């Protein structure tokens, strides 16, 4: 583990190769799993406040689920804020392309300039998962079988997890933190 500014970082963030391959996985992370995407409190508030702007970018089923359950819910398993699911399956903010690839309606609204924030940071940072403790934040690489195509693509392109996730890492922790990741990688993990 590496400590940078109170973030304890798994070595796999530097060693594992990873690049999402939507053509292979079809965005399964938006559909699979036991609960919705983890949300920070401010994200849940933003989703509620911007529902009308996001609505044109999500499915009718997603809109109905949000009307019935809210823009976010408390997960019954761990008590965390998460996005609701449609009938226990995909996230309410999921939309599907013509070829069946799941995409994020929140991200689509952001890209269209309708809202000023991107998808939830937990989604943007995946396969990194953050765990907050009293004195530090654990920054861990999460293994999920549905991401095997991303491992293959990452190995082929020779892209490390943290490099693939530069934009969300900077979004969450700032450019200076990302620069320190690069220094650690260059000094300790180059081989």
Across 66-83, average pLDDT: 91
Tell me the whole-structure pTM to 2 decimals.
Answer: 0.88
* Residue 176 token pair: 């200076």
Structure confidence at residue 116 (pLDDT): 93
Helices marked H in 50-174 — which ranges? 51-54, 60-69, 105-111, 121-124, 148-157, 161-164, 166-173
Per-residue pLDDT tens for 172-183? 999 999 999 999
Q: What is the mean pLDDT of the chain?
A: 92
Compute the distance between CA of residue 173 and CA of residue 125 in angstroms, rounded to an integer.
Answer: 11
Q: For residue 184, is it left (φ>0), alpha (ψ between -120 and 50) or beta? A: alpha
Q: Which band of pLDDT confidence, cut at 50, 70 and 90, is reported for residue 78?
A: confident
pLDDT > 90: percent of the chain:
77
Q: DSSP secondary structure string, 52-83? A: HHHGGGS-HHHHHHHHHH-SSEE-TTT--EE-
Over 70: is that where the pLDDT of 191 sits?
no
């Amino acid at each position: 583990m590496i400590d940078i500014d109170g973030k304890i970082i798994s070595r796999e963030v530097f060693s594992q190769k990873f690049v999402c391959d939507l053509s292979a996985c079809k965005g399964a992370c938006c559909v699979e799993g036991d609960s919705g995407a983890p949300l920070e409190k401010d994200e849940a508030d933003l989703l509620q406040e911007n529902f009308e702007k996001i609505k044109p970018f999500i499915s009718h089923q997603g809109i109905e689920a949000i009307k019935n359950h809210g823009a976010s819910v408390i997960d019954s398993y761990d008590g965390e804020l998460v996005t609701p699911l449609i009938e226990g399956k995909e996230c309410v903010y999921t939309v599907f392309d013509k070829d069946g690839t799941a995409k994020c309606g929140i991200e689509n609204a952001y890209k269209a300039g309708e809202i000023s924030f991107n998808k939830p940071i937990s989604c943007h940072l995946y396969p990194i998962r953050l765990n907050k403790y009293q004195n530090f934040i654990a920054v861990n690489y999460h293994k999920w079988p549905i991401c095997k195509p991303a491992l293959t693509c990452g190995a082929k392109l020779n892209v490390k997890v943290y490099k693939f996730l530069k934009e969300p890492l900077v979004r969450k922790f700032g450019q200076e933190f990302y620069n320190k990741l690069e220094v650690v990688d260059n000094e300790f993990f180059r081989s």
